[in-house]
Amino acid sequence: MKLIEKLNETIVNIPDFPKEGIQFKDITPIFLNPELYEEIIARFVENAKGKVDAVCGIESRGYLFGIAIAVALKVPFILIRKKGKLPPPFIGEKYDLEYGTSEIEMKTGHIKAGQRVLIHDDLLATGGTAIAAAKLVERQGAKATLFSFLIELEALGAREKIDKTGAELFSILKY
């Protein structure tokens, strides 16, 4: 069976969670199946090989695959965390949500100037979080050259925003 078919059978769509109108993609059953997990990592690694010097994972589901991708690529992994979790020194970036704003933070000194960076998360929705993560990388003299996601929600138009940054966007499953 193809990877995409396996994922379609495994990922569960939860309507109206955490609020009405959201089709929440529950990826937790993936972690019951180590062979499927390995296949997902292999697909991400195959695409990213030779293209990046560091991987940034977005809290918290961006860590689930991000660390394994970084280890397989033999490059550093850097955590992007929600506001208030990291000890200093760090920098933060605010971004818009559907209602209100949010903020993510990253330790300074972990990314090196000139590095090509992969921004990774489980799911691409509006792209707000991923673009804010790329800004944190760029403020440190590095460049987000690749974005990768297990799932891309195409209707929300994030691909256009990422294309504008000149970076590559790789997603395994599109809805």
Query: Which residue's CB is nearer to ligand AMP, number 22 or number 71?
Result: 22
Residue 43 is a catalytic residue: no
66 binds ligand AMP (CB under 6 A): no
9, 38, 46, 98: which is the annotated catalytic residue?
98
175 binds ligand AMP (CB under 6 A): no
Q: How far apart are CA 84 and CA 38, in angstroms?
A: 33
Query: Which residue's CB is nearer to ligand AMP, number 26 or number 112?
Result: 26
Q: What angle do CA 80, 85, 86 make, to 5 degrees?
A: 70
Tell me the site size for ligand AMP, rule CB under 6 A.
17
For the chain, the distance separating the N- and C-terminal CA atoms, rounded to the nearest angstrom, is: 19
- The secondary structure element, H or E, covering residue 168 is strand 168-174
Residue 159 is a catalytic residue: no
The overall longest dimension of the chain from CA atoms, in Å, is 47
61 binds ligand AMP (CB under 6 A): yes
Task: For the chain, state the CA radius of gyration.
Answer: 16
Query: Which residue's CB is nearer to ligand AMP, number 28 or number 49?
Result: 28
Contacts of residues 20-25 at CB distance under 8 Å and 24 or more positions apart, as own/partner, are 23/175, 25/123, 25/151, 25/175
61, 116, 138, 168: which is the annotated catalytic residue?
61
93 binds ligand AMP (CB under 6 A): no
Catalytic residues: 61, 98
> Given the rule CB under 6 A, which residues bind ligand AMP?
22-25, 58, 61, 121-130, 158
